[in-house]
Structure 1
Amino acid sequence: MNIGKPRKIGKTIDEIEEGDSLSLTESIEDNQLLLYLGLTNDANPLYIQHDYAQKTSYERPIVPSIMLMGIITSAVSKHLPGAGSHVVNFSVNFIEPVYHYETLTFDFEVIKVDKMKDVVTISVEAINAEKDRVLDAVVMVQPPLLTQESEDIHE
């Protein structure tokens, strides 16, 4: 990564339309879980201890909810609208637990473009490999705001 080097930014509010969509698939692996737990110092036994989790209704360790939110915000930053975006509101409903090693498909759709407020609203649904819906979310995002200087790096 070159700090200070101009890089392409995401779509501006004028380039986004209702109905724009994105689908991505993510697998939850041990290295991601360990990084999250190490960064947050979260020692919840429900996330990592098989012996503890077996005694709960979940029966095995689950993925921390905030990790799933991180996958969503990462997709916003990388893809829709893309680099330079800023999440201003996030509402999520965790429907089913997500277990270690699951593969999830996240479907994103722009459901509202508010040019007066410079905000787009994106609905998100995630399903697991068994096609069970595990979460629904609504994310309000401020797309990249262009200044005269940044116009040069936006194509």
Structure 2
Amino acid sequence: MSADQLLGKIHLGDPRSVARAISLVEDQAEIGPYIMQGLDQQRLDRVLTVGITGPPGAGKSTLTSSLVQQLRLREIRVGVIAVDPSSPLTHGALLGDRIRMMEHALDRDVVVRSMATRGRLGGLCAAAGATMRIMLLQAAGLF
């Protein structure tokens, strides 16, 4: 699938295309920069971004889940990027945060994406910023 085809599906709100684009950007695929250039910056400028951070066990997932619940009561679409430590075996995300937010799994207007730190210090992976831009368009319903 070309970058233009993928972007077209992203702008239509197709969750699989959003997931595919995130994976391509996260994996630093050749098509990644074209996807990022094709995102609509004017739409992104209208979206609220909230970051929640803290040490293990501080309640970040619980707070995030409660925040998602409150936003959904107001019929606001939500996207969550949960950055988890990397598995020493697969180097993928351990999925702890995603598992703790399972109550939102069947809600089509909540998108939760787990990403691994991939050994990067500081709690964020290199692709988190780019992924957030893709996810915001999907979650905000700005298509």
* TM-score normalized by the length of structure 2: 0.26
Which structure dedicates a bigger proportion of its chain to helix? 2
Bigger CA radius of gyration: 1
Which structure dedicates a bigger proportion of its chain to strand? 1
